[in-house]
């Protein structure tokens, strides 16, 4: 058995520098993992919010909620007022009510088309996340094209619609927004958030490799169970973070429910934050090994 020499002070300092770089981004991860999430609150369809049920949430850029375009109580009251106006003949009432219904539906669809444009901008501006990220981006863009086409077709139906027709169009738009567009908004939020997190995982992978080299060097020089245990804990946390991050990617690729994907993103950031805490523990251990 070859006995390795006791590490010199300069060697220990070099290792400490390695580990210092490794946990340098812990503040960034903590911020990403504890900031209030506009994405989390945007997942509910029809304006309902679905906050992440934990002490740690995730952050993303603001994307409009699905209920920002809709018919208000005052709009409904305006229709009721026409229907109850005794000064109008039956034909006049129909003409005025139809004109108002078309006006309101046109405003809702125009607003919704603006939502689609905003979502396109968010998808386009999301950070590069490799080939998998580009495939998800392409899929979302295709679905946003479908959304834009849907609104254009519904708007075109108004030209020849009567009151019954406008009611049918309004019902179609409402049902489609709740059943199709609301999940798309949530999935877009999730994609933008997930894509933005990939640089954290890339940096963490680099730091983990550097840390492994430093710990291996020190272990070869002088075995230390505390150092080994701390590194193993950090490595296990990072593997968990990577697995959850990969699961979030898969959820995006499969267009799974937005809250399910968001939960995986949150878990990945929690595990990554735990990894950086272990890096800090490793640095503390190495500092204690330095000659006094």
DSSP conformation letters of 215-227 = HHHHHHHS--HHH
Q: Is the predicted pLDDT of residue 62 greater than 70, yes or no?
A: no
User: Percent of the chain at pLDDT above 90?
Assistant: 63
Q: What is the pLDDT of residues 86-100, one digit of tens each?
A: 999 999 999 999 999
DSSP, res 55? S
pLDDT at 26: 37
d(CA 267, CA 240): 9
Q: Where does residue 34 fall: left (phi above 0), alpha (psi -120 to 50 degrees), or beta otherwise?
A: alpha
Q: Residue 57 — pLDDT band, cuts 50, 70, 90? A: very low
Selection from 234, 241, 235 nearest residue 265 by Cα: 241
Burial class (CB in 10 A: 0-12, 13-18, 19+), 256: middle
The stretch 116-129 carries a mean pLDDT of 96
Q: Which two three-digit tokens encode residue 103?
A: 């006006």
d(CA 27, CA 30): 5
pLDDT at 85: 94
pLDDT at 67: 58
d(CA 170, CA 205): 50
pLDDT at 3: 35
Q: Residue 292 — pLDDT band, cuts 50, 70, 90? A: low
Q: Is the predicted pLDDT of residue 61 greater than 70, yes or no?
A: no
Burial class (CB in 10 A: 0-12, 13-18, 19+), 220: exposed
Q: What is the pLDDT of residues 165-182, one digit of tens each?
A: 999 999 999 999 999 999
Q: Which two three-digit tokens encode residue 67?
A: 């209920």
pTM of the shown model: 0.77
Question: Which of 57-66, 116-125, 188-197 bottoms out in mean pLDDT, i.e. has the lowest?
Answer: 57-66
d(CA 79, CA 138): 42
Selection from 289, 141, 290, 151 nearest residue 228 by Cα: 289
**Domain boundaries defined on the chain:** 23-289
Q: Which two three-digit tokens encode residue 122?
A: 């968010």
pLDDT at 221: 77
Q: What is the pLDDT of residues 221-275, one digit of tens each?
A: 777 888 899 999 999 999 999 999 999 999 999 999 999 999 999 999 999 999 9
Q: What is the pLDDT of residues 4-50, one digit of tens each?
A: 334 444 444 444 443 443 333 333 444 344 332 333 433 433 333 22
Q: Residue 277 — pLDDT band, cuts 50, 70, 90? A: very high
Query: Which segments within 62-183 are labelled E, that is strand?
Result: none
pLDDT at 270: 96
d(CA 195, CA 26): 19
pLDDT at 29: 45
Give the number of other Cβ atoms within 10 Å of residue 232's Cβ. Answer: 12
d(CA 17, CA 226): 19
pLDDT at 291: 64
pLDDT at 215: 86
Q: What is the pLDDT of residues 67-90, one digit of tens each?
A: 578 888 899 999 999 999 999 999
Query: How big is the chain by its Cα radius of gyration, in Å?
Result: 28
């Amino acid at each position: 058995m070859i006995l390795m020499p006791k590490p010199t002070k300069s060697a220990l300092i070099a290792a400490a520098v390695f580990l210092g770089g490794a946990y340098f981004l812990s503040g960034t991860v903590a911020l990403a993992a504890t900031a209030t999430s506009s994405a989390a609150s945007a997942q509910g369809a029809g304006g309902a919010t679905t906050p992440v049920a934990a002490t740690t949430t995730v952050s993303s850029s603001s994307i409009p909620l699905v209920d920002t375009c809709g018919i208000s109580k005052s709009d409904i009251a305006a229709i009721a007022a026409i229907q109850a106006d005794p000064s109008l003949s039956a034909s006049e009432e129909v003409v005025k009510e139809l004109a108002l219904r078309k006006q309101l539906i046109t405003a809702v669809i125009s607003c919704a088309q603006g939502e689609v444009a905003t979502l396109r901008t968010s998808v386009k501006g999301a950070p590069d996340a490799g080939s998998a990220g580009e495939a998800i981006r392409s899929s979302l863009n295709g679905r946003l094209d479908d959304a834009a086409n849907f609104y254009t077709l519904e708007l075109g139906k108004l030209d020849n619609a009567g009151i019954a027709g406008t009611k049918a169009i309004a019902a179609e738009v409402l049902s489609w927004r709740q059943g199709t567009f609301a999940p798309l908004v949530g999935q877009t939020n999730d994609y933008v958030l997930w894509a933005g997190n990939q640089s954290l995982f890339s940096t963490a992978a680099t730091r983990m490799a550097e840390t492994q080299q430093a710990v291996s060097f020190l272990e070869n020089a002088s075995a230390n169970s505390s150092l080994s245990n701390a590194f193993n804990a950090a490595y296990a946390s990072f593997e968990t973070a990577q697995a959850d991050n990969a699961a979030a990617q898969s959820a995006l690729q499969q267009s799974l429910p937005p809250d399910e994907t968001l939960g995986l993103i949150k878990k990945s950031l929690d595990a990554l934050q735990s990894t950086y805490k272990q890096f800090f523990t490793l640095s503390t251990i190495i500092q204690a090994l330095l000659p006094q």
